[in-house]
Amino acid sequence: MAAPVPDDPLPAIDPELLFSHLSHAKGILAAVSGGPDSMAMMHLLARWGLEHRVSILVATVDHGLRPEAAEEAAFVAREAAALSLPHRTLAWTGEKPKTGLQEAAREARYRLLIRYAREVGASHLVTAHTQDDQAETILMRLAKGSGLKGLTGMRRERNREGITHARPLLGWPKAALLDLCQTSGWRFVTDPSNTDERFARVRWRRLMPRLAEEGLTASRLARLAERVAQADEALEMKAREALEGAAPEAGEGGLSFQAACLAEEPFEIGLRILAQALGRIGLENIRLQRLESCVERLRTAILASESLRLTIAGALLALDRSGRLSLRPEPPRSRGR
C-alpha cells in the first residue's frame, strides 16, 4: 500500500492490504531478526498465509558478530514454531572485514537468504524495512551526493537473481509496528547494534527527531522517494526511446548506436542512454561520477565530429568520425591495467 500522507493519522494495519501483492507467490521466505518490525511482519504473515494458503517460511541470519545473535535466532525459531512456521538459521561464516562491515554484512545476508529461497522453492523474499528505514536511506544517500536514481530509496519490490524481494512494511513507521507488538503481546528482542554510533545509519537515526521538528519527517522523506521514483521512471522511459531511435545493433558481445542522441538530448537523458547501453552488454551499477565524465567527453567529441576511445567500468568505447559509438567489454587481460 502507498505510504500514508504526512501528518495523516495511520489506519489500522490490515494484512489483506499489506500482502495483497503477494497472493500469487509460490512460497514466501520471511527474513526475521527478532526485532519488533520483523516480528510484527511474521505474525501478520502467518495469519494471512493461512487464510490464503500461501506457504510461509522464516529465516534468521546470524552474522556471527555478537554473542547474543545465536540466542536471538533461537528465540525467533521458537516464536515461528508457535505459529507453525518452519524456521532456519543461516550463518555468515568466515573472516569478517575490518572496514565496511555493515555493507559486507548486508551483502552476506542477502546472499544467504536468496540461496535459501531457491533451496526451498520460494518465489518471494520479504523483509521488514519500514518508513523510518526508507527515510534514513534517503538522508544517507543525500549526504553522499547521490543522483536521482539513488534518491528513489528502497523499492517496494525488486528482482534479486530471480527472486522477488518485497518490502510490504515500507509505508509504515516503526512506532506503529512497535505499538502493534506491545498491544498484541507479541514478544521481540532489542539489537544493541541499533544504538551503536559507529554505524552511519544509527547516527542518522539519532538526528531524525531534530529534523522532524523542522518538518523533515520520515513520512515526508518517504513521500519524496516515491515522487523521485516517478520522475526516474519517466526519464528512464525517455532514454530508452532515444536509444531505440539511435539504430542500436548488437553483435559479438557488444553494441553500437548513433551517438548524436547523447549530445542532442538533455544531459540527464544522455547519462541514462549510456547507462542503458552499457547494461545491454552486462555492465551495470556504474558510479554516477564516472558516467558523467564519460558523457561529457563524448558530447564534446560528437559536437566536434571527432573520434574518441575511452574506457569505463570494464567497457571499451569507440566513437568514430561518423558519430557511431561502439561498446564492448574489455578483454580480461586488459582490466585493471
Give the model confidence (pLDDT) of 148-198 as tens digits. Answer: 999 999 999 999 999 999 999 999 999 999 999 999 999 999 877 676 777
Output 20 or 337, whichever has higher pLDDT: 20
Residue 280 in contact with residue 250, Cβ under 8 Å? yes
Domains of the chain (ranges plus CATH)?
Answer: 15-227 (3.40.50.620), 245-334 (3.30.465)
Mean pLDDT (whole number) for 89-105: 89
DSSP letters spanning 247-283? --EEETTEEEEETHHHHHS-HHHHHHHHHHHHHHTT-
The DSSP H or E segment spanning 166 is: strand 163-166
Distance CA 275, CA 169 (A): 31
State the pLDDT confidence band at 8, using cuts at 50, 70 and 90: low
Pick the range with the lowest mean pLDDT from 12-16, 35-39, 105-109, 180-184: 12-16
Q: At what angle do helices 131-143 and 200-213 cross, to 10 degrees?
A: 100
Mean pLDDT score of the chain: 92
In this prediction the pTM is: 0.86
Task: Tell me the per-residue pLDDT of 228-281, one tens digit each, with 9 for 90 and over.
Answer: 999 999 999 999 999 999 999 998 889 999 999 999 999 999 999 999 999 999
